[in-house]
Structure 1
């Protein structure tokens, strides 16, 4: 199905004085929260295992709650920035979840890279509680989240989209409406699968160059002048050359989750994607070897350096 794309200017009226919840104060979520506070939102956050982001947000005026149900009673919109659909389902469902405790007509924006089937099921459950559940996965980095420069890929009905855009405009530079609920997560999985596929090829090219004594800086210069160039390869090269130690700070475990979800979605359509399937296996192997918590550019280290 061809999707109609609607771009929304970040001049859209925003979040001033709006009471917004944030669940998932990791690196990306913390950046979103900082931007929401900067735009005047009254921010409520759920206690997070990693205190770094939560402490930054509470120091800037966010209210912290120990339970999802407690947070839900204070807000009319909730932004989710979680590792996967499993965590999204956990905070939405059950007697202590968002669906049971949010006020009627409240809005839930799932900015997680979630699985579309789960998203559709949650949206149906939300309707039964007179709530609006939409998918709004984002691209770009935590640093860009903090500066309000993310891209949001939104799946929602036409009536709910303007309310979603008013929240997203606080931390997004570009907001693209790609269709009904679920379509945002479908597009994000295609996007992330391509990203991780390119990362797998770039990693092996860097290892190949080292193995045959090809200078990486020279290779980078050559690649940068041709159609083969990519931001992924350039980030890998900058990491390997010691220029940007924190390049592409997504973990290999999270990257594996994204591409495996993409392969699963393709398989459900009976589409064969052998190249992306092989890339997914590379990530699976890296995690099995104990490299899951390392960042993405570590894929490009030779086995000798990696050890």
Structure 2
């Protein structure tokens, strides 16, 4: 068991930090809204700190799950950043979905300070975080990963190293690219069935048993048909992730025509007031 810090208590980070505490680790949390950190500490029995630096002091591992590149820089760097409070040999594990560029930047700063760095973005949504069933895709030195993996295991159903620093973020981009096209295809299929006068439940029962079947189909077709979009990852965050994917595609020369198109469809959902709807809300623009 280890002394840990967890930075960022959003819908993912809050339960993830709780799993670490439940596993027997000594966890101190930091959140930009201090009241939420105090609430977590009262609920789980860990500690809270007013700055990332104080949360990270003496921790063998510091986990983060914040919003974007700038948020990640703010909790890592500067006088009150985590890197300033970490001891040499400690490892920073970032679960935020950010650009590979900021990952390489911060990994370099960590190495200069004698720290390890593992980029470890996650997939599985709020339910996966709450149930400790996240997929964690990692990049970093093998030794750093080998040390961090048992700790990450408190909330992971799979934790895999894909390569050096940045490989985790690139793999998360693959994940988001695959999801974007899949959800659009499912949305068109359900809307088509509805327009044709078929019973969506009966259609899904049949086609889900063949090659069209997917987790999204099994778990979201009913709520999509009902226009209920409060079940997970928000459109605003998906557009942030897809912007990262498209920028990386330009950088490496990878063509992402479907991803670019679906990004614009999500922009349309935002214009409908659906920025906080979950990603299955693509169907809303087809059945309005």
Q: TM-score, normalised by structure 1?
A: 0.86
Report deviation, 1:201.
2.0
Q: Counterparts of 1:205 and 1:52 in 2: how far apart (Å)?
A: 41
CA contact (8 A) 1:23 1:81 kept: yes
Structural RMSD (CA): 2.3
Partner SS state of residue 158, structure 2: strand
Q: Counterparts of 1:173 and 1:303 in 2: how far apart (Å)?
A: 35
Matched, 1:25 2:9: yes
Q: 5+ residue gaps in structure 1?
A: 1-15
Q: Counterparts of 2:70 and 2:30 in 1: how far apart (Å)?
A: 17
Identify which of structures 1 and 2 has the higher relative contact order when contacts are C-alpha pairs closer than 8 Å and 6+ apart: 1
> How many residues end up aligned between the 2 structures?
288
Report deviation, 1:244.
8.3
Per-residue CA deviations over 1:164-208 (Å, capped at 9, x if unaligned) read: 112212111221111111111101111111112211222232223
List 4+ stretches of structure 1 deviating above 6 A: none
Q: Which residue of the partner structure matches residue 275 of structure 1?
A: 258
Per-residue CA deviations over 1:66-91 (Å, capped at 9, x if unaligned) read: 21122122422111111222211111
Q: Which residue of the partner structure matches residue 288 of structure 1?
A: 271
Report deviation, 1:245.
7.0
Q: TM-score, normalised by structure 2?
A: 0.91
Matched, 1:147 2:131: yes
Q: Counterparts of 1:277 and 1:245 in 2: how far apart (Å)?
A: 22
Structure 1 residues 144 and 236, CA gap change in structure 2 (3 angstroms): closer
Structure 1 residues 201 and 37, CA gap change in structure 2 (3 angstroms): same
Per-residue CA deviations over 1:222-280 (Å, capped at 9, x if unaligned) read: 22121011111233312135598754x11111111222211221111222221111111
Q: Counterparts of 2:36 and 2:285 in 1: how far apart (Å)?
A: 32
Moved more, 293-302 or 38-47: 293-302
Report deviation, 1:146.
3.2
Q: Counterparts of 2:177 and 2:52 in 1: how far apart (Å)?
A: 32
Q: 5+ residue gaps in structure 2?
A: none
Please state which structure has a larger fraction of its residues in helix. Answer: 2
For 2:69, which of 85, 99, 112 is the aligned residue? Answer: 85
For 1:206, which of 173, 179, 190 is the aligned residue? Answer: 190
Q: Counterparts of 1:301 and 1:213 in 2: how far apart (Å)?
A: 17
Partner SS state of residue 103, structure 1: coil
CA contact (8 A) 2:191 2:287 kept: no
Partner SS state of residue 171, structure 2: helix
Q: Which residue of the partner structure matches residue 216 of structure 2?
A: 232
Q: Which residue of the partner structure matches residue 193 of structure 1?
A: 177
Structure 1 residues 54 and 196, CA gap change in structure 2 (3 angstroms): farther
Q: Counterparts of 2:68 and 2:38 in 1: how far apart (Å)?
A: 20
